[in-house]
Chain A
Amino acid sequence: MDLSFWILQFLNAMQYSMLLFLLSIGLTVIFGLLHFVNLAHASLYMMGAYIGISVAALTGSFWAAFFLAPVIVTLIGAMLYFTLIDRMRTAGPMNQVLVTFGLIFIFLDLVRMGWGDIALGLDGPQSLSGTTRFLGVDYPAYRLFIIALGLGVMTTMWFILSRTQIGAMIRASVENTDMAAAMGINVSTLFFLVFCFGCALAGLAGVAAAPILSATTTMGITILIPTLIVVVIGGLGSLEGAIAGSIIIGFMETFGAVMIPSFSAVLTYVLLAVVLIWRPQGLIPARG
Chain B
Amino acid sequence: MFYQTKFRSITLIAALIFLASYASFGSYFAREIVVEIIILAILAISLDLCAGFGGMVSLCHGAIMGVAAYAFAIMSAKLGWPLFPSALIGLLAAVVVSGLVGWVTARTNGIFFIMATLAFGQMAYTFFFKSRWLGGDDGMGGISRFDLSAIGLEMNNSLTFTYLGLGVLLLAYGLTAMVMRSGFGRTLSGIHVNEDRMKALGVNTAAHRAKAMAFSGFIAGLAGLIAAQHTLYISPELLIWTTSGEALIVVILGGLGTLVGPVIGAILLVLMKHEISDYTDYWHAFIGLVLIFTVLAGGRGVFGQIEYWLNSLRSRHHDPDNHQTAGKPQGGDHA
Contact = CB atoms under 8 A, between A and B. Distances in A.
Nearest to A229: B119
B122 A276 contact: no
Interface in A95-153: 95, 97-99, 101-106, 108-110, 112-113
B152 interface: no
Given A94-B114, A236-B111, 9 more contacts: A37-B111, A98-B248, A98-B252, A102-B288, A221-B242, A269-B123, A270-B123, A273-B119, A276-B115
Contacts of B248: 97-98, 101
Nearest to B59: A97
A273 B130 contact: no
B108 A276 contact: yes
Given A94-B57, A265-B130, A273 B116 contact: yes
Q: Which of B119, B281, B287, B335 has the most CB of A within 10 A?
A: B119
B175 interface: no
A143 B106 CA distance: 42
A101 B104 CA distance: 26
A39 B287 CA distance: 16
Given A112-B281, A225-B241, A232 B112 contact: yes
A99 B299 CA distance: 11
B126 A112 contact: no
A95 B295 contact: yes
B122 A102 contact: no
B258 interface: no
A105 B284 contact: yes
Contacts of B107: 280
Interface string B285-325: 10111111001100100000000000000000000000000
A228 B114 CA distance: 11
Nearest to B131: A262
Given A98-B249, A105-B284, A228-B118, A266 B295 contact: no
Interface string B237-255: 0000110010011001000
A84 B293 CA distance: 11
A110 B111 contact: no
Q: Which of A94, A108, A110, A228 has the most CB of B within 10 A?
A: A94
Interface of B: 51, 57, 104-105, 107-108, 110-112, 114-116, 118-120, 122-123, 126-127, 129-130, 241-242, 245, 248-249, 252, 281-282, 284-285, 287-292, 295-296, 299, 334-335
A37 B242 CA distance: 17
Nearest to A103: B288
A98 B291 contact: yes
A60 interface: no
Given A95-B299, A112-B281, A280-B107, A105 B130 contact: no
Interface of A: 31, 37, 84, 87-88, 91-95, 97-99, 101-106, 108-110, 112-113, 221, 225, 228-229, 232, 236, 262, 265-266, 269-270, 272-273, 276-277, 280
Given A269-B122, A276-B112, A110 B130 contact: no
B101 to A, nearest CB: 9
Q: Which of A87, A95, A105, A262 has the most CB of B within 10 A?
A: A105
A266 B127 contact: yes
B123 A273 contact: yes
Nearest to B104: A277
B260 to A, nearest CB: 20
Contacts of A88: 295
Contacts of A87: 296
B295 A98 contact: yes
B126 A110 contact: no
Nearest to A217: B284
A205 to B, nearest CB: 21
B120 A273 contact: yes
A276 B116 contact: yes
B288 A106 contact: yes
A212 B309 CA distance: 54
B292 A103 contact: yes
Contacts of A262: 130
Among all A-B residue pairs, the 8 with the closest Cβ atoms = A105-B288, A109-B285, A269-B123, A102-B291, A102-B288, A106-B288, A109-B282, A102-B292
A94 B51 contact: yes
Contacts of B281: 112
A228 B179 CA distance: 35
B132 to A, nearest CB: 9
B162 to A, nearest CB: 29
A38 to B, nearest CB: 11
19 contacts: A91-B299, A92-B334, A93-B114, A94-B51, A97-B248, A99-B292, A101-B249, A102-B289, A102-B295, A105-B285, A106-B292, A108-B285, A110-B285, A112-B282, A228-B115, A228-B118, A265-B129, A269-B120, A277-B104
Q: Which of A31, A93, A103, A225 has the most CB of B within 10 A?
A: A93
B288 A272 contact: no
Given A102-B288, A265-B126, A280-B107, A91 B295 contact: yes
B3 to A, nearest CB: 23
A277 B101 CA distance: 11
Contact of A276 (B119, B252, B288): B119
Q: Which of A87, A109, A228 has the most CB of B within 10 A?
A: A109
A106 B286 CA distance: 7
A33 to B, nearest CB: 14
Contacts of B126: 265-266, 269
A93 B295 contact: no
